[in-house]
Every structure is written in structure tokens, then in C-alpha cells.
Structure 1
Amino acid sequence: MATLITIAKKTQDVHQNIILHSQFANCHGLIAGATGTGKTVTLKVLAENFSRLGVPVFLADAKGDVSSIAQAGSTNPKFEQRLLSLGIEQINFEASPVIFWDLFGEQGHPIRTTVSEIGPLLLAKILNLNDTQEGVLSAVFRIADDQGLLLIDFKDLKAMLSYVSENAGHLKSEYGNLSPASLGAIQRNLLALADQGGEQFFGEPSLDILDFLQTDSNGHGYINLLAADKLMRTPKLYATFLLWMLSELFEKLPEVGDLDKPKLVFFFDEAHLLFDNSSDDLQQKIEQVVRLIRSKGVGIYFITQSPLDLPESVLGQLGNRIQHALRAFTPKDQKAVKTAADTFRSNPDLNVGEVITQLAVGEALISCLDEQGIPQIVQQGFIMPPHSSFSPLSPEQRKQLMQQSIIAGIYEQAIDRDSAYEILQRKIAESEQQKQSEVAAAEQQKQQQILEKQQAKEQERLEKEQQKATEKAQREREKLTQDIVGNFAKSAARSLGGKTGQTLLRGILGSLFGKR
């Protein structure tokens, strides 16, 4: 059954309520106004009401003051005067159940996702890649899948890009042209995201987005409070996280049609950071998610200073609008006032363009969808007071609530399992080891060849020496023979003597030497 949520009292008659119909709360909304006009109290009032209805809430706390929603409020003379002016006798102070989150793991439970879960298409939009670069990034993811390389954290993706860059020639035949220029552009944009803290966002254990959809023992929806004071200084990471979160919800939640109340409501503070300096493709992606996620029962409320901070394509989808005071000191301010006035269904009793600049703190122009889903005429009213405190939690109080949280201990310890980086590092080490082995084998072969040459030379030297020795021995034998024969001849000549002896000797010698 649908519920009427009282969000304000009419300025002209505080006994008349300005209401939001719960069945149309997922038609998205806008809370706008200059600094100090009451936007934070307004989003607290809405968040508290949704929580009491059993609707979980996600809320980005840009300044750290929304943590006060986790403790019950208390009265004081100024607060009592406010209640009296609104015709409210009393208010039941109570705290809302809160789960604290923080991408940096400092003021809440860490939020992480893996590179594979965010995917190449969404990552390309976030990195503002052109079509060619997006195609190369998709090929990198495909190569990782084909080779069984898990892309979990930032260093996995960087290692994968380096691997593809070094092996682009071998991969070209199967995955197409992987140009160094495109790979270099992707790496540079990743470095820019890393400089803003992107490395902490990618990793495990990755967030189960359904952990946002929980209720406490009283049936109240948990308010998931993201510490965004530090995150706001890194707008690229902030936009990356919010867009991923919406995309995850769209993928995981079923179509639900019309419900009596939303399944989940998001409040995006400093909403202009989603759109500042973003590409047309990224804006189209955000617009698409905002348009389609309504059918999943999810409502999105943007909090910003001026309606001009949002693209018209997004602004046109916001059915529930709360406009706090705007200042019109400059031409740009005057344009913002006119834009804000033109977005409302006109009220013949109100000069909206004039009233916007005169609203008091906590007062707003409000137009929500009626029971037929049609925008109501704009009404001027005072926002209801919150049930929670106005004082932010101390670090000790926040820490205590985190320790008592239903998800305490689930996401705190980072896990770095074997993935692309580790596998590629081992491949590099194995390749280096193989190169060293090949170098050692080549050196050994070279030494073996040198040794064989030395052995061959030594053998040749020995053979020559042997030959020389043989020839020398031969000469010595021949000389010895000649000496023996000569001595014999001389001896014979002396022995025979006379002419007959000499003749006989010559005959013998002639016979011995072949001479006659």
C-alpha cells in the first residue's frame, strides 16, 4: 500500500502538508539551492522517511555532516520555536540505522570492484576514449579472457596493456591492429585515474551491490552513508564509482514494474561532478541508466546548487523537485533562477521567479507527482524537521558503529590473489630465465668450439712433431747405413790391398750401389 510522506508544511497555511507519494518516489528527484539554504536537512528528512518505510538508502556525504543521521536528535529553544511555527506539538527523536562506506577505507567499510566487473565499455566511457581506443581496450579484455588472465586490480590492467603493447605484432593476426598510439592513450588516461585514487577502487573483495538493500530488525531500511568529503576532490573517481554502482544495480536487479515504494533510493550530492568535463558519450550513458533504472524500483535524487548543473536530458526525467533559495547577483545566476522557475508547473498564486530569491533558510518551492503521476503545481513550504541530530558523529562514535555493523569484517581485508599481473610477471621471469639459459648454452658451445680448435691444433702439432721425429730417424738410419757401408769399404780395401783387391772391391761396391 502506498504511503504519503510529509516533507513540508505550506508557508501560507502550516496546517496543510506538502506530500510525496511513495509509489512515485522512484521517479527521481532534484534538491537544489544555494549554499546554506537547507539542502542537507532536506535530504536527511527524505532519507529518514524512506528508511522508516523500510526502503534502503544510499547517500553520498559530501561534507561529513550527514553522519548525524546515525544519532537521535535533541531539543533546544531554537528547535522548539521551529516546531511551534510549523504547528507541530512534538517530534520523536530517533537515529536511523546506518552503514558507513568509504572508497579509501578510512571512515567506513572499503568499497572495491574488479576491473573485469567494471568491463571495457564502461571503463572506456569513464576514460573518455574515442571509438578506436575503445576497440583496442575491448581487445585487451578479450586477450585476457582467451589467455586465462584475470583482470582484478589496477596493476593487472597495467600489466596487460604492457603485455599487449610488447606483443602487438604477434597478436595482430587474431585481434586486429593494436596500435601503440591507442595503447599509449589508454595508459595515460589510466594514470590520470590512478592519480585520483583509482587504484584503491579496483580490487577484492569486491562489493556485493545487494548489500545496499538491507533492513534492520525493526524493518527500517539501512542508510548506506558514503564518506565523500575526500572523494569529492577526485571528481573522476567519484563519477566512476557512481556510474559503476548504477550500472551494477541495473544489471542485477529484476524488472519490478509499479511498486508501492522504491526498492532503493540514491542521493547524489554535488551532482555536477558527474557531468563536469564529461564526454557526450559518458553523459548519454548516465542519462540512459537514469532513465532505465526506474523500472528496477530505484529512485535517484540529485543534490546540487542549480538546475543548470544537470543536462536537460537528465533534468527532464526528474519528477519530484525541491528548490531552495537561489541568488541572482550575476547574469548566470539570473539564468539559473529562470531555469529553475521554468521547470515547475506554474502556480497562479506564486511568482516563482521572484519567490526563489526570497526563500528563507529551510524554505523551498516544491512540486511532486500526485496520485496520478502528474506533476503538482509548485507550492511554497517549510521543510519538516529531522528526527536525528544536527551534530556530526565523532571519529570514535563512527568507529564504534562500524564495529557493530552487520557487514563488519567482510570488506576490510584486501585480497590479492593470483591474477594477470602475477602470471605475466612469472612469464617474464621464465622468459628471462630461458634467455639466460640460451646465453649460457651458447657460451658453453662457444667454449666447446674453442676447446675443440685447441685440441685440433695440439693434435696437428703432435702429428707434425711425430712426422719430424720419424723423418729425422729415417735420415739418421740412412746416414748410419752409409757410414757402415763406407767403413766396411775402407776396411775391405785395407785388407785386400793391391790391384786385384781394389778391382774386386770396386766390383763389390758397384754391385752394392748399382754402378758398373
Structure 2
Amino acid sequence: MWEKQDQTIFLGASRTPANDYQKAEDLLLKYGNRHGIVTGATGTGKTVTLQILAEGFSNAGVPVFAADVKGDLSGVAAMGEAKDFLVKRAADVKLDPYDFQEFPVIFWDLFGEQGHPIRATVSEMGPLLLSRLMNLTDAQEGVVNIAFKLADEEGMLLLDLKDLQAMLANMAERAAEIGARYGNVTRQSVGAIQRNLLVLEQQGAANFFGEPALKIADLMRKTPDGRGAINVLAADKLMNNPRLYATFLLWLMSELFEELPEVGDPDKPKLVFFFDEAHLLFNDAPRALVERVEQVVRLIRSKGVGVYFVTQNPLDVPETVLAQLGNRIQHALRAYTPREQKAVKTAADTFRPNPDFDCAQAITQLGTGEALVSTLEEKGIPSMVQRTLIRPPASRLGPISPEERKKVIADSPVAGQYDETIDRESAFEILQKRASQAQEAEAKAREQEELAEPQGRSRWTLPDFGGGDSGGSPQPRGRTPSAPRPRTSNRQSVTEAAIKSVVRSVGSSVGRAIVRGVLGSLKKGF
């Protein structure tokens, strides 16, 4: 039985040269914000390691956020069961007593199906992450940046996808005006972005963008007895859209970085964040985005946030990010291909060597539930790598039932806060109102034009062929009935009338020029 340490998380027991488990392996809470990584092939025990880390942080009063890719992590919300292999594992690592617990869990789901909906506004996501989400070209990303700038200048909120779609459509109509101020905005670029937004909408991203937006404080709740909440994100469906998953996780980490105050090096983290399937964050990511991840990982430590990457292969994480991770847990890797062999060597080289065994060889020989462990000791020095048997979890191993999940959701401290969508006035509504007002103004202008024509005048008038007054015949415009008509010869008035008829019948400037020539010659003849 190991002596309980209030400032540590018990991970398991390491082997001695005699091949028995004699030494406790712990993670110091004060170095929990120095980040970490859990790697290993499928089926080697990564999820159980994530589970016991989440349990340890929760019992220490540290809130946790973790993605649940396969649904197995949901068992942390239920009491554990004394199964034979778990009891044996507890005895092997000298975990006595082996107590079972259920933990305070809040379930979240971007699609609102297996947990409380998580939403963010388009403005909060920002043009960089949105462009990453849609895999836009540089030119298209420039158009998105202009859309955000224009919306800000004109006082329009970008909250959901229809706001951004309306803003882009408005920009296409005003392309000449906007282009003169910000640069070229082509209809082709706008069309490509709109098509990408439509794809996102069909993939369910419309559920993510909107209000009420997630409050970071709701991820950092504690129970009355001081335990930290374990926030579990249902990610099984989200895996069908890995780009949305990666963008969401990066957005969440960025929000934590921007909102949390500086705390330096606290006695324990304020929040611990687990990136499961971390390779999805970096696959095909542009350099600018990788640099952003590296920056956030490096600086968020001072906010008291620990970031732990969970992935199959240490090569999935860029070296610049890998260098920031102080706590390392390596489960078994296979070495059948050149890339796998390279991964084994990379993993072995990241540990502080242990003279008692060959690290690279041990990685390929680890059994299920075993791992090579190296954590930060006093003064932040990495411990010598140890071959460790991971302790069994106190909560249920495996998923909970749908009925149990529904009960946890109903009893959640955030129940009812995020379930109903709020759609307040934003860019979409404002632009619709402007379009409606423009149509009304145009209709009024047409009415005024019609009313401006002289009253009592028929649009159908009779031509004046000369001659005297004949009863009720209309008088020529501009003359009174008593005004005498100038007399001219009959031949001349007929000729002039013919010339005027020709002039009226000719519509082009060339025709008018010809008629003016003819008119001049005829006048000379007369």
C-alpha cells in the first residue's frame, strides 16, 4: 500500500530489475500544467490512462475537459465494479483500499444529441480558424477577412452561418465599392466560400455556430465537496468531420488562453484539457495554424491550463509542440513498417534513459495496461523513464447506457442553459431589413414619377395637320383659340411636314445627320 499524497496523482507502479512492481509512479499536481502526451497503438490502454488521469485531477479539485471518441470514457460518470482483472491489477500495484467512485460529469455534444449543445459565434471563431475549417485559398481567406472587417465597421454581428452567408452575398453586390477600399473581391471567390459554407451546414456545423455561446466558466465548475467537473465531449459523430473537430478544439484552447488570467505556477492546474486523436489537429494543417497551436501550448501554461495530447503515434505531433510536453506516458507501439520503427525510436529518444532496460525494445514488448512513464520531478526535471503498470480506474470501465446518460444530462448544473437556440438581430436580419427598405424606396420613387406627369392630359393625342377650328377638335399646344395662324404656301407646309415626319422616324444619330443634310439642301432649293 502506497502512502497517499495529496499533491500527486497515483498513476501505477513501476518494475524493479527483479521484474516486480515495487515503486509508485506519480504525477505532481504542481507540474500538471506543464502539459503531457499519452501515446500507443490501438488497444494498448490509452483510454484507461486518460480515465485515471481525469479521475485523479477531479479528486484534486481540478476541472477536466476531454473528448470521448469511442464512447468508452462516459463510464467515468458511473460507479466502478469489482471485476476480477481489475481487482488483480489493484493488488499488483498495491492499491489498497481499491475504492469505487462515480465522478461529477457534464456531457457536451456539438450536435446536441448526447449532451448539452456547445455553440460558438462566427465572430468568436474568427477568420483564421474559419478559413482552416473550410480549407480556403489565400485569396478566399482574404475575402473572409474583409467580411469580418466590414461587419465590424458597419456594426453588424456575425453570430451564425446565415449571417456570414448574407454578409458575403452583400459583398458580392458591392464588389466595386469594397474593392476600392480593401482590395479585389471577386464573385468567384465569394461563390467558392458560399459553397464551402453549404457543405459545413450539411455536415452539422450550423448547430455549432450560434447562441447561446459556451461560457468558459461552465467548463471550470466544482462540486460542493471540492471535486472538479469532468466535461466529456461526445466525439463519435464528430469524427466524421475531423476538420470541424480539430478547429473546435483549437478554438476552445484559444478561448481559454484569451479569457483566463495569468496565474504563473499554481499549486495545481486550473483546468486540464485532453486532445484525443490529436493527429487530426495537425493533419494537412498550414504552417500558420501549427504555429498558432505551438504558441497557445507554450503560453497557456501561465494561465494554469494543462494540455495533454492523446494519439497513437508520437510522430503525429510536430516536434515544436512535442518539445513543450513535460509529462509522458508511452503505451506499446508496433514496429512492422519503417514509419513505425521510426516512431519507436522517436518515442524512446524523448525519454530520460534508464540503465536497467533498453527503452526502444521495451516499447515493442509492453503488455496491455503497461506503459513507459516519465513525469516532471522537483524543480521540473524529467524523471528517469520507468516501465509502469497503470492502476485500474475507480469509475466504470466502459460506456454507460443511454438511459444513464439522459439522467446525468437532466441532473447537470447547466441543464436548460444551452438547450434552446437564441436568434437575435445580427447581420442576416439587418441586411434583410436594408434590402426591404431599398425595395420600398424604389417603389415609392416609381409612384412619384407617375404622379409627376401633367394632370388632365391624355397620353393619346391627335396629330395637328393644320386647318381651322372644327368644332370640338383639340387646339394645338401653346396657342389660344383666338390667335391668328400664320399663312404660308400649301407646297411649303407639305414639304416641311414631310421633312418633320422623316426626322421623327429616324432614331440614330447617323440618320439625324443625313436628315439635317437633306433639310439644308431642300431649304436652299426653296
Structures share a fold, TM > 0.5? yes
CA gap 1:226/1:435 in 2 versus in 1, 3 angstroms: same
Measure how far apart 1:198 and its partner are.
1.8
> d(CA) in 2 for partners of 1:368 and 1:237?
32
* Residue 15 of structure 2 corresponds to residue 8 of structure 1: no
Measure how far apart 1:219 and its partner are.
0.1
CA gap 1:196/1:350 in 2 versus in 1, 3 angstroms: farther
- Cross-structure match for 2:470: 464
Gaps of 5+ in 1: 469-516
Q: Deviations over 1:245-290 (max 9, x none)?
A: 0111111011111111100001111111111122121111111111
Q: Deviations over 1:310-350 (max 9, x none)?
A: 11111111111101011112222212111111111111111
CA gap 1:467/1:183 in 2 versus in 1, 3 angstroms: closer
Measure how far apart 1:205 and its partner are.
0.5
Measure how far apart 1:196 and its partner are.
3.0
Measure how far apart 1:38 and its partner are.
0.5
Instruction: Kindly indicate whether the alpha-carbon contact (under 8 Å) linking 1:196 and 1:236 is maintained by their aligned counterparts in 2.
Output: no
* Secondary structure of 2:49 counterpart: helix
> d(CA) in 1 for partners of 2:346 and 2:198?
38
* Secondary structure of 1:350 counterpart: coil
* Residue 186 of structure 2 corresponds to residue 179 of structure 1: yes
Mapping for residues 49-448 of structure 1, pairs under 5 Å: 49-439=56-446
> d(CA) in 2 for partners of 1:457 and 1:393?
94
- Cross-structure match for 2:491: none
> d(CA) in 1 for partners of 2:175 and 2:432?
18
Instruction: Kindly indicate whether the alpha-carbon contact (under 8 Å) linking 1:7 and 1:383 is maintained by their aligned counterparts in 2.
Output: yes
Gaps of 5+ in 2: 475-526
Instruction: Kindly indicate whether the alpha-carbon contact (under 8 Å) linking 1:128 and 1:278 is maintained by their aligned counterparts in 2.
Output: no
Question: What is the aligned-residue RMSD (CA, Å)?
Answer: 2.5
> d(CA) in 2 for partners of 1:453 and 1:73?
92
Measure how far apart 1:86 and its partner are.
2.4
- Cross-structure match for 2:484: none
Instruction: Kindly indicate whether the alpha-carbon contact (under 8 Å) linking 2:121 and 2:159 is maintained by their aligned counterparts in 1.
Output: yes
Measure how far apart 1:118 and its partner are.
1.8
* Secondary structure of 1:96 counterpart: coil
| Higher mean displacement: 114-123 or 329-338 | 114-123
> d(CA) in 2 for partners of 1:383 and 1:459?
113
| Higher mean displacement: 182-191 or 96-105 | 182-191
Quick one: which of 452, 458, 478 aligns to 2:458?
452
CA gap 1:216/1:451 in 2 versus in 1, 3 angstroms: same
Measure how far apart 1:39 and its partner are.
0.5
> d(CA) in 1 for partners of 2:126 and 2:113?
27
Partner amino acid, structure 2, of 1:152: L
* Secondary structure of 1:249 counterpart: helix
* Secondary structure of 1:254 counterpart: coil
- Cross-structure match for 2:497: none
Instruction: Kindly indicate whether the alpha-carbon contact (under 8 Å) linking 2:6 and 2:60 is maintained by their aligned counterparts in 1.
Output: no
Partner amino acid, structure 2, of 1:24: Y
| Higher mean displacement: 426-435 or 358-367 | 426-435
Instruction: Kindly indicate whether the alpha-carbon contact (under 8 Å) linking 2:119 and 2:211 is maintained by their aligned counterparts in 1.
Output: yes
Instruction: Kindly indicate whether the alpha-carbon contact (under 8 Å) linking 1:120 and 1:134 is maintained by their aligned counterparts in 2.
Output: yes
- Cross-structure match for 1:471: none
Instruction: Kindly indicate whether the alpha-carbon contact (under 8 Å) linking 1:112 and 1:200 is maintained by their aligned counterparts in 2.
Output: yes
> d(CA) in 2 for partners of 1:237 and 1:465?
86
> d(CA) in 2 for partners of 1:87 and 1:22?
21
> d(CA) in 2 for partners of 1:461 and 1:51?
109
Instruction: Kindly indicate whether the alpha-carbon contact (under 8 Å) linking 1:125 and 1:281 is maintained by their aligned counterparts in 2.
Output: no
* Secondary structure of 1:59 counterpart: strand
> d(CA) in 2 for partners of 1:159 and 1:209?
29
Q: Deviations over 1:137-170 (max 9, x none)?
A: 2221121122221111100001001101111112
Q: Deviations over 1:178-214 (max 9, x none)?
A: 3334434433443343343221111000111121111
> d(CA) in 1 for partners of 2:258 and 2:31?
22
> d(CA) in 1 for partners of 2:420 and 2:310?
33
> d(CA) in 2 for partners of 1:171 and 1:364?
58
CA gap 1:268/1:450 in 2 versus in 1, 3 angstroms: farther
Measure how far apart 1:97 and its partner are.
0.5
* TM superposition score normalised by structure 2: 0.83
Instruction: Kindly indicate whether the alpha-carbon contact (under 8 Å) linking 2:15 and 2:22 is maintained by their aligned counterparts in 1.
Output: no
Instruction: Kindly indicate whether the alpha-carbon contact (under 8 Å) linking 1:196 and 1:237 is maintained by their aligned counterparts in 2.
Output: no
Q: Deviations over 1:378-409 (max 9, x none)?
A: 10010011110113111111111111111110
- Cross-structure match for 1:486: none
Rg larger in 1 or in 2?
Answer: 1
Partner amino acid, structure 2, of 1:10: S
| Higher mean displacement: 197-206 or 117-126 | 117-126
Partner amino acid, structure 1, of 2:101: E
Partner amino acid, structure 1, of 2:262: E
Partner amino acid, structure 2, of 1:464: S
* TM superposition score normalised by structure 1: 0.85
- Cross-structure match for 1:478: none
> d(CA) in 2 for partners of 1:206 and 1:290?
23
Measure how far apart 1:76 and its partner are.
2.4
Instruction: Kindly indicate whether the alpha-carbon contact (under 8 Å) linking 2:345 and 2:360 is maintained by their aligned counterparts in 1.
Output: yes
> d(CA) in 2 for partners of 1:449 and 1:335?
93
> d(CA) in 1 for partners of 2:41 and 2:416?
40
> d(CA) in 2 for partners of 1:248 and 1:140?
21
